[in-house]
Structure 1
Amino acid sequence: METCWFIDCHCHLTAEEFRQDINDVIEKSRKAGVRAFVSVTEQQSEFEEVIDLAERYPESVMACFGIHPIQSSADGHRSVTVQIGLDFTPWFVSTSQQREEQQKVFALQLDIAKQLDLPVNVHSRSAGRQTIAFLKEQGIWNALLHNFAGRPSVALEGVQAGFCFSFPPAVTRNDQRAKLIRQIPLENICLETDSPSLGPKKEERNEPEKIRIACQYIAAVKGVSVETVCEVTTCNALKLFPKVHQRLKE
Structure 2
Amino acid sequence: MKLVDTHSHLFLEEFADDLPQVIERARQAGVSHIFMPNIDSTTLKPLLQVCEEYAEYCFPMIGLHPTSVGGNYRDELALVKQQLAIPHPFVAVGEIGMDLYWDKTFLREQREAFDLQLQWALDKNLPVVIHCREAFEEIYDVLLPYKATSLRGIMHCFTGTEEEARRILDFPGFLLGINGVVTFKKSSLPAVLKHLPLERMVLETDAPYLAPVPHRGKRNESAFVGDTMRKLAEIMGEAPEKVAQVTTENALAFFGMKERDDIFKIY
- TM bracket (short chain): 0.7 to 0.9
Q: 1:6 aligns with which of 3, 6, 16?
A: 3
The share of aligned pairs that are identical, in percent, is 29
| Pairing 1:199-238 to 2, within 5 Å after superposition | 199-200=211-212, 201-238=215-252
The match for 1:63 is: 60
Counterpart-to-counterpart distance in 2, 1:70 and 1:129: 17
Secondary structure of 1:36's partner?
Answer: strand
The code of the aligned residue for 1:39 comes to M
User: How big is each residue's C-alpha offset from its partner over 1:180-212, in whole Å with a ceiling of 9 and x where there is no partner?
Assistant: 211321010000000010002442001100001
The code of the aligned residue for 1:124 comes to C
1:121 correspondence with 2:129: yes
The match for 1:44 is: 41
User: How big is each residue's C-alpha offset from its partner over 1:63-108, in whole Å with a ceiling of 9 and x where there is no partner?
Assistant: 0122321249xxxxx798457111121xx2235xx22211111111
Counterpart-to-counterpart distance in 2, 1:192 and 1:80: 30
The match for 1:75 is: none
Counterpart-to-counterpart distance in 1, 2:261 and 2:45: 20
> Does the CA-based 8 Å contact 2:99-2:131 persist in structure 1?
yes
1:112 correspondence with 2:124: no
Runs of 5+ unmatched residues, structure 1: 73-77
Counterpart-to-counterpart distance in 2, 1:214 and 1:248: 31
Structure 1 residue 135: Cα displacement? 2.0
> Does the CA-based 8 Å contact 1:79-1:93 persist in structure 2?
no
* Number of aligned residue pairs: 238
The code of the aligned residue for 1:159 comes to L
Indicate how the Cα distance of structure 1 residues 248 and 9 shifts in structure 2: closer, same or farther if over 3 A, else same.
Answer: farther
User: How big is each residue's C-alpha offset from its partner over 1:95-143, in whole Å with a ceiling of 9 and x where there is no partner?
Assistant: 5xx2221111111111221121110011011122332342232346300
The match for 2:200 is: 188
> Does the CA-based 8 Å contact 1:36-1:244 persist in structure 2?
no
Indicate how the Cα distance of structure 1 residues 23 and 69 shifts in structure 2: closer, same or farther if over 3 A, else same.
Answer: same
Counterpart-to-counterpart distance in 2, 1:39 and 1:226: 24
Indicate how the Cα distance of structure 1 residues 245 and 238 shifts in structure 2: closer, same or farther if over 3 A, else same.
Answer: farther
Structure 1 residue 216: Cα displacement? 0.6
> Does the CA-based 8 Å contact 1:68-1:80 persist in structure 2?
no
> Does the CA-based 8 Å contact 2:98-2:110 persist in structure 1?
yes
Runs of 5+ unmatched residues, structure 2: 78-94
Deviates more, 1:157-166 or 1:138-147: 138-147
- When normalised by structure 2's length, the TM-score is 0.82
Indicate how the Cα distance of structure 1 residues 244 and 43 shifts in structure 2: closer, same or farther if over 3 A, else same.
Answer: farther
> Does the CA-based 8 Å contact 1:197-1:205 persist in structure 2?
yes
> Does the CA-based 8 Å contact 1:59-1:248 persist in structure 2?
no
The match for 1:103 is: 111
Q: 2:159 aligns with which of 140, 149, 153?
A: 149
| Pairing 1:128-147 to 2, within 5 Å after superposition | 128-138=136-146, 139=149, 141-147=151-157
Secondary structure of 1:84's partner?
Answer: strand
Indicate how the Cα distance of structure 1 residues 172 and 156 shifts in structure 2: closer, same or farther if over 3 A, else same.
Answer: same
Q: 2:191 aligns with which of 162, 176, 179?
A: 179
Counterpart-to-counterpart distance in 1, 2:58 and 2:144: 29
The code of the aligned residue for 2:142 comes to F
The code of the aligned residue for 2:206 comes to D
